[in-house]
């Protein structure tokens, strides 16, 4: 996310402003405004819809996703509402079973990236020790200079394939960008009087980071998290498309697109269904995150 676009979400005054410190009525107002805004309720609705399909789908799918139930590329009919794929498997069943791992993997990768990149960014921005700051920034610059997909493919080539390795690769690609963002805003926050007061009281670095710096970065994280999560969705689906996620015959939205692309003109739903799921999920997360960050920004201004 552009740092200038979210700079207003970070406190620049002399007192810390965090979501927890806002009055209860204001906090409730944040969520009310989020859901009342057109962007917010559309985003939340799309997110809940696709997440529900991914979470409940494995329990309600009409067929085993690996079972051959008919001829290849049958069009939608009464028995198979989305037709069959290249091997004659039920597309609806595979769509219902193919989203939960994408959601979990992308969410875990984004959380790990924030845990690693955010921690290093806070420490580097607060201490400003030349060795740590320069080293962390230089390593981040090297990672950022390489296109994300190339970096991920390089890591997977070195470490192997599979869901766990793919999740780790996505996290490692995201962490340097998060580190640079968090470092920039930590440098801005550390000059505030409440941080200087904590230093004067003799509080430890860990205490200052956890009690003074981290709470004032939460608005920034909320504003940026949706963008990172959307990127993780797309990256995981892209790597699955390349065969680096779950191995066949697992049902996976990215893998489904790859397996059935040759039959797009024969049975388009075998490709369009997973594409629509990924697209709706990404749009929903993005819209919901932007609505929440806008609401927090307005509440901060009102406070």
Residue 28's pLDDT is: 56
Q: Which residues pair with 68 in a beta bridge?
A: 89
Distance CA 167, CA 177 (A): 16
Give the DSSP letter of residue 65: T
The phi and psi torsions of 244 (rounded to 5 degrees) equal -105, 10
Section 191-218 average pLDDT: 83
Percent of the chain whose pLDDT exceeds 90: 40
Residue 172's pLDDT is: 92
Q: Is 209 a residue whose pLDDT tops 70? A: yes
Residue 142's pLDDT is: 86
Residue 40's pLDDT is: 80
Per-residue pLDDT tens digits for 24-34: 444 555 667 76
Average pLDDT value for the chain: 83
Distance CA 36, CA 40 (A): 7
Residue 82's pLDDT is: 94
Size (the chain), residues:
303
Per-residue pLDDT tens digits for 4-26: 444 444 433 434 444 444 444 44
State how many domains the chain has.
Answer: 1
Residue 212's pLDDT is: 84
Is the pTM higher than 0.85? Answer: no
Q: What is the torsional sign of CA 103, 104, 105, 106? A: positive
Per-residue pLDDT tens digits for 146-195: 888 888 888 888 888 788 899 999 999 999 999 999 988 888 888 888 88
CATH of the domain at 92: 1.10.3720.10
- Structural domain including 148 reads 3-302
Q: Is 287 a residue whose pLDDT tops 70? A: yes
Query: Binning pLDDT at 50, 70 and 90, where does residue 298 land?
Result: low
Q: 125 to each of 145, 156, 186, 221, how far by Cα in Å?
A: 21, 31, 5, 16
Per-residue pLDDT tens digits for 79-98: 899 999 999 999 999 999 99
């Amino acid at each position: 996310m552009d740092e200038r676009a979210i700079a207003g979400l970070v406190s620049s005054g002399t007192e810390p402003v965090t979501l927890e410190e806002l009055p209860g009525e204001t906090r409730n107002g944040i969520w009310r405004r989020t859901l009342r805004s057109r962007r917010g309720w559309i985003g939340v609705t799309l997110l809940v819809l696709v997440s529900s399909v991914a979470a409940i789908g494995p329990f309600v799918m009409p067929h085993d996703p690996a079972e051959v139930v008919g001829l290849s590329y049958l069009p939608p009919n009464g028995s198979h509402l989305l037709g069959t794929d290249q091997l004659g498997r039920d597309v609806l069943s595979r769509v219902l079973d193919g989203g939960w791992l994408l959601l979990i993997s992308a969410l875990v990768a984004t959380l790990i990236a924030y845990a690693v990149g955010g921690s290093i960014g806070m420490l580097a921005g607060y201490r400003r020790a030349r060795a740590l700051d320069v080293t962390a920034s230089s390593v981040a610059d090297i990672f950022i200079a390489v296109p994300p997909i190339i970096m991920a493919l390089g890591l997977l080539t070195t470490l192997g394939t599979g869901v766990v390795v793919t999740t780790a690769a996505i996290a490692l690609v995201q962490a340097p960008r998060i580190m640079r963002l968090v470092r920039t805003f930590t440098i801005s926050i550390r000059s505030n009087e409440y941080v200087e007061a904590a230093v004067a009281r003799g509080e430890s670095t860990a205490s200052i980071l956890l009690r003074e710096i981290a709470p004032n970065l939460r608005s920034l994280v909320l504003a940026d998290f949706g963008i990172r999560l959307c990127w993780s969705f797309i990256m995981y689906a892209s790597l699955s498309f390349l065969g680096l996620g779950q191995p066949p015959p697992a049902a996976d939205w990215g893998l489904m697109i790859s397996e059935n692309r040759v039959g797009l003109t024969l049975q388009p739903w075998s490709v369009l269904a997973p594409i629509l799921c990924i697209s709706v999920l990404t749009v929903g997360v993005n819209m919901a995150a932007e609505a929440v960050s806008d609401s927090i920004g307005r509440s901060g201004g009102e406070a």
